[in-house]
Structure formats: structure tokens, C-alpha cells
């Protein structure tokens, strides 16, 4: 494999993908070159297109090719509710429930002091401006229930409540379909506290 | 994520990589768009370059950008020995041992009837022609010690021996540094049979 600088460049390129080490990258490169050159060209096109065209929605900060994303432009949505999620995958999960008809704000990250990510990096000021537009009456925090997600929710909650906005958090409790015996104790304790 | 056709195309493109499902592909796409657009462009370039320029060495069938790869062009190598491996990663592993100074033939696959891969698909005829050039005195089979690798070695061995070539197989036995207690029984049995 000595003189294949194109192959080596491809392996190095694939290693830029998260979770891909040198072994996986080699396997991917061999697969593409041996069995799927069309796929390689398709992927190259898609990468160029996406890297060039995808930007952030001016309102909700999610990925979009337009200035304002489709969700924010949708006039049938309830503009009095704003759901804060960490990333577009979380937004997509909320959308698939069909239980929420309001608008979104996508942080594109979470506060993580260990990684040097503070309130500025998740666009807290942009969220405050967005939530203070006079239409939003309730901000629903749907960040993940991890240590970083909880910290992020806490920081946002403090900042928004100081400006007189109503802030709620997704309910914590026992997942649908689960048996208490197998649910972790922290979840059961929370479900007791938040009982209704 | 509704109006981001470029994002969706990128996720579909990433799914062409082996071992990447829709969740991993989304995570990769978000990572590239959010944190590493330069990496996305680098990868796109590398994909185009590799898909366009990398071909197979006319002699050993490995990936190369030239007609004949560096290893085959290297005159200091022992042209009387030909080592048959399944893919360039295996070739690279053999090279790193620095225990072999002969030439290679890279099958770029293995016989696998379940996947519809037969002797023709691994270039058996090309290997026979290569091994019958009058210079090669020994063909060393270094296919993997899996069911498919063993079947591949068997088929090649039969075909080459019928043409009067000397065919050897990498030794099977107890790996360096291992304790018998923890070695699987098939390996110990083989090590007994092949004792020297």
C-alpha cells in the first residue's frame, strides 16, 4: 500500500468522521474502492453540497438550506411555545411523536465545562432574544437527561426565568412499557417526586 | 430537518459506508456540518481522487495509482516467492512483520459461496498466470484462517499444485505470548499435528 497516496488520503479523510479509527477507515476505503465507486462519488458530491449549502436557520438555529427553516416558516404551528433541544436528531425525535405543535430552538450542543463549552457556545443570547419576541409564552426545555443536558437546562432556565418567561422541563419518570423491578432507582425516585 | 435535502443526501451518502446505519450517519453528518466543514471538504476531495485514480496493479492486483505497484517494481524483492493474501490490509500486516521479502498477489476477496463469490471473482486465473511466469518457485497462501479463507486457500492450492507449483500455507499454531489454558482447543489440536 506504499504508493497509493490517494488511498492513504482517503483513509485519513474517513478518519475525520467521529467514531472511525484507522482500521474502520481502511475497511471503508477498501469497500468503496472495491465494490462501490459510485457510492464514493455520491458521498463526495453530498459532502461538497452539504458543506457548501447547509447553514443555520436564523430563528431556530437548526440546519437548513434556506434562511428560515420550513418548521419556523410553518404558520400552522403554535408560536407561543418554544421547545429547546440539543441537536437536530433530538428535534426529529420530538417531531416524530406528533405530540408537539410549537416551534423549536436547537442549541447545536450542550454546556460541557470539561470540553470547554460554555453558555456562549450554545447560543444562549440568541435563545434569549428568540424567546423574548413577545409571542413566546412558554419555553419547554427538552435537553437530554444527562449530566450535561441537565446543566444546560438549568443555565437556560435561570437566564429565561430572570426575564419573566415561563420555563418548563420535560417530565422525568418511568418509561412507557417498563416494569418497576428493572427501572433504575434514580428514575423511580424522580417519578415519586413528580407524581400527579 | 424537513427542508435540508443536502443534509439528507449526506446522511444517505454516509450510509453507503460499511457498518454505518442511519443513526451513525446522522451523527457523522451533524459532526461534519457543525464542527468540521474543512474535514468534509477534505474527505470529498479524497473520495473523488481515490475513486478516479486508484486502480489495480497489473501484476499483484493490489490498489495502486500506477500500472505496476511499488512492491512489484522493487527489484530487491525475491521474485521466486509469491504470497497470496485476501486484501491490502492483510498485505500491509505481512509487510509490517518484515519477515517476508518476496512478492504478493492480492485476491481482493475470498471464496464465499453464500455471498455468491466463486473462484472467478477472486481472479484465480490471473493468479495462475502470475504464478506460472517461470520465476515463481513457491506460492505461500496467507489467506485468513476463517472458513472462507481456508476454502479459498484449498481451491488455490488444488489449482496451483495441478500445474506443478510448490504451494505452502502459513503455519497454524499457538500465538506468541499466549498461555495454553486460554487458547482454543482447535488451535492446540492443530499445533500438535503441525509440531516440529
Which pLDDT belongs to residue B156? 94
Q: What is the pLDDT of residues A13-66, one digit of tens each?
A: 999 999 999 999 999 999 999 889 999 999 999 999 999 999 999 999 999 998
| Segment-wise mean pLDDT, segments of 10 residues, chain A, 196 residues | 75 93 91 90 93 91 90 92 92 90 92 86 89 92 93 94 92 89 89 86
Residue B1 has pLDDT above 50, yes or no: no
**Which residues lie below 8 Å from residue A39, measured CB to CB, with a gap of 6+?**
A32, B13, B16
Q: Are B65 and A3 in contact (CB under 8 A)?
A: yes
Q: Which of A89, A154, A90, A146 is closest to A119 using CA atoms?
A: A154
Which residue bears the cell 512478492? B103
Residues 30-49 of A with CB under 8 A from B: 30-34, 36-37, 39-49
ipTM value of the model? 0.81
pTM: 0.79
Which pLDDT belongs to residue B2? 46
Which pLDDT belongs to residue B4? 66
Angle of helix B22-35 relative to helix A37-53, nearest 10 degrees, comes to 40
Q: What is the pLDDT of residues B119-162, one digit of tens each?
A: 888 888 999 999 998 899 999 999 999 999 999 999 999 999 99
Distances (CA, A) of A132 to A111, A135, A136: 21, 8, 7
- Chain A residue numbers with beta carbons less than 8 Å from the beta carbon of B40 are 16, 47-48, 50-51
Interface test with A, best of B8, B12, B43 (most A CBs within 10 A): B43
- Chain B residue numbers with beta carbons less than 8 Å from the beta carbon of A36 are 16
Rounded-to-integer distance, Cα B144 and Cα B169, Å:
10
Q: A186 phi and psi, to 5 degrees?
A: -60, -40
Å between B162 CA and nearest CA of chain A: 30
- Taking CA–CA distances from A70, the nearest residue in chain B reads B3
Amino acid at each position: 500500500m506504499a504508493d497509493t497516496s490517494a488511498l492513504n488520503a482517503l483513509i485519513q479523510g474517513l478518519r475525520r468522521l467521529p467514531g472511525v479509527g484507522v482500521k474502520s477507515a481502511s475497511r471503508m476505503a477498501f469497500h468503496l474502492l472495491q465494490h462501490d465507486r459510485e457510492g464514493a462519488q455520491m458521498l463526495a458530491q453530498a459532502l461538497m453540497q452539504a458543506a457548501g449549502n447547509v447553514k443555520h436557520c436564523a430563528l431556530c438555529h437548526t440546519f437548513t438550506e434556506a434562511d428560515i427553516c420550513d418548521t419556523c416558516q410553518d404558520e400552522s404551528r403554535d408560536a407561543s411555545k418554544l421547545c429547546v433541544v440539543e441537536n437536530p436528531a433530538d428535534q426529529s425525535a420530538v417531531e416524530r411523536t406528533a405530540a408537539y405543535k410549537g416551534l423549536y430552538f436547537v442549541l447545536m450542543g450542550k454546556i460541557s465545562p470539561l470540553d470547554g463549552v460554555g453558555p456562549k457556545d450554545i447560543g444562549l443570547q440568541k435563545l434569549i432574544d428568540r424567546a423574548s419576541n413577545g409571542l413566546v409564552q412558554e419555553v419547554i426545555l427538552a435537553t437530554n437527561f444527562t449530566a450535561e443536558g441537565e446543566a444546560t437546562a438549568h443555565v437556560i432556565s435561570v437566564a429565561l426565568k430572570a426575564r419573566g418567561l415561563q420555563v418548563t422541563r420535560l417530565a422525568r419518570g418511568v418509561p412507557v412499557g417498563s416494569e418497576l423491578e428493572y427501572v433504575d432507582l434514580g428514575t423511580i425516585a424522580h417519578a415519586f417526586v413528580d407524581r400527579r
